[in-house]
Amino acid sequence: MKYRRAGKSGILLPEISLGLWHNFGGDDVFSNSKKILHTAFDRGITHFDLANNYGPPYGSAEETFGKVMKDSFMPYRDELFISTKAGHDMWPGPYGEWGSRKNLMSSLHASLKRMNLDYVDIFYSHRYDPSTPLEETLQTLADVVKQGKALYAGISKYPQDAARFAYDYLRKRDVPCLLYQGKYNLFSREPEHEGILRQAKENGAGFIAFSPLAQGLLTDRYSDDRVSETSRMAKGKFLKKEHLTKTILTKIRKLTEIAYGRNQSLAEMSLAWLLKDDSVCSVIVGASSVEQLDKNLRALENTLFSEKERIVIDDILNE
């Protein structure tokens, strides 16, 4: 495993991190989740990305991680970089989501308890709240760092103007925002086009990408235009059948040809493409099995792209 520095900080993240958004909840088999977590650490993945409402049900991914933390990870706590977030729907009532101090503080306390931790390495504001004063949200991030409940502060999915305000506000309070987490993949290139990548770098923050495979579109799972009953698309919650348009399917097939020319699967090439330069400090992958995790890690064997490959890929995506 290779590690990359997050912006202007002491944070070193593995090029591939493990996210617990899916496959680690109370509805999943604990022994399998534990095996994936152990394998990830054995392969050099030291960063585990969580949020208060990961599951399902909400909170159960943190509970799963907490059991593994207590049973086997505790001796290695100083080697681990653990994140959690708050801001999306979590519990009933007016303080169950968004960016109030009440929500963020209550959520973090509950997360620490579920994960059997005294602190997390980074705590994110999971999304921008257009109703709560941004100063309140950001001051809470600064306070949890100064209280020792988190070592670093981060933001996720913030629009550019709000991110600019966040970088400036936190820097002036000696708690710089050191990670920006955003959706980024071959089909979702907004961080490039909207200047989020450049903005993070200019402000000394690292950019960490989630949804690198576009919820499974950038794999060989749908290249034959079939939808398996066990696939995420069949479940239809985050990836819907209408997303697999003829245009997208054509792009998937053309990208797959390029990947095969690189001796990679489409998924491997898609992950490698995100790591082709230093604008991304880590890519968060999910995994439903050890085998799937190992396949994702094979992307690290070749993250170099020729100028010709970059041009052809851009041409396909711009069709």
**pLDDT (tens digit, 9 = 90+) per residue, 177-193?**
999 999 999 999 999 99
For 195-224, how does the pLDDT look when each residue is reduced to its tens digit (9 = 90+)?
999 999 999 999 999 999 999 999 987 765
3-state percent helix, strand, coil for the chain, nearest multiple of 5: 45, 15, 40
pLDDT of residue 232: 54
CA atoms in the 13 A half-sphere facing the CB of 239: 19
CA distances to 31, 102, 123, 273, 303 from 137, rounded to whole Å, are 37, 10, 12, 34, 37
How does residue 242 score in pLDDT terms, banded at 50, 70 and 90? confident
- Domain assignment of residue 239, yes or no: no
- Domain assignment of residue 118, yes or no: yes
- Domain assignment of residue 319, yes or no: no
Domain that holds residue 27: 3-217+276-303
- Domain assignment of residue 57, yes or no: yes
Q: What whole-number distance in Å separates Cα of residue 25 and Cα of residue 106?
A: 21
Residue 227 has pLDDT above 90, yes or no: no
Q: What is the DSSP letter of 76?
A: G
State percent of the chain over pLDDT 70. Answer: 94
Q: What whole-number distance in Å separates Cα of residue 86 and Cα of residue 132?
A: 14
pLDDT of residue 223: 62
- Domain assignment of residue 241, yes or no: no
Phi-psi region of 175 (alpha: psi -120 to 50; beta: other; left: phi over 0): beta
Cis peptide leading into residue 57 (ω within 30°): yes
Q: What whole-number distance in Å separates Cα of residue 83 and Cα of residue 152?
A: 9
State percent of the chain over pLDDT 90. Answer: 92
CA atoms in the 13 A half-sphere facing the CB of 158: 29
For 118-169, how does the pLDDT look when each residue is reduced to its tens digit (9 = 90+)?
999 999 999 999 999 999 999 999 999 999 999 999 999 999 999 999 999 9
- Domain assignment of residue 237, yes or no: no
**21-54 residues labelled b (16+ CB within 10 A) or e (exposed):** bbbbbeebeeeebbebbebbbebebbbbbbbbbb
CA atoms in the 13 A half-sphere facing the CB of 190: 13
CATH number of the CATH domain containing 198: 3.20.20.100
Residue 275 has pLDDT above 60, yes or no: yes
pLDDT of residue 243: 74
Q: Is the pTM of this model over 0.75?
A: yes
For 13-69, how does the pLDDT look when each residue is reduced to its tens digit (9 = 90+)?
999 999 999 999 999 999 999 999 999 999 999 999 999 999 999 999 999 999 999
Residue 264 has pLDDT above 70, yes or no: yes
Query: What is the crossing angle of helices 60-68 and 101-115, to 10°?
Result: 40
pLDDT of residue 226: 56
For 66-116, how does the pLDDT look when each residue is reduced to its tens digit (9 = 90+)?
999 999 999 999 999 999 999 999 999 999 999 999 999 999 999 999 999
pLDDT of residue 230: 56
pLDDT of residue 84: 99
Work out how many domains the chain is built from and give that number. 1
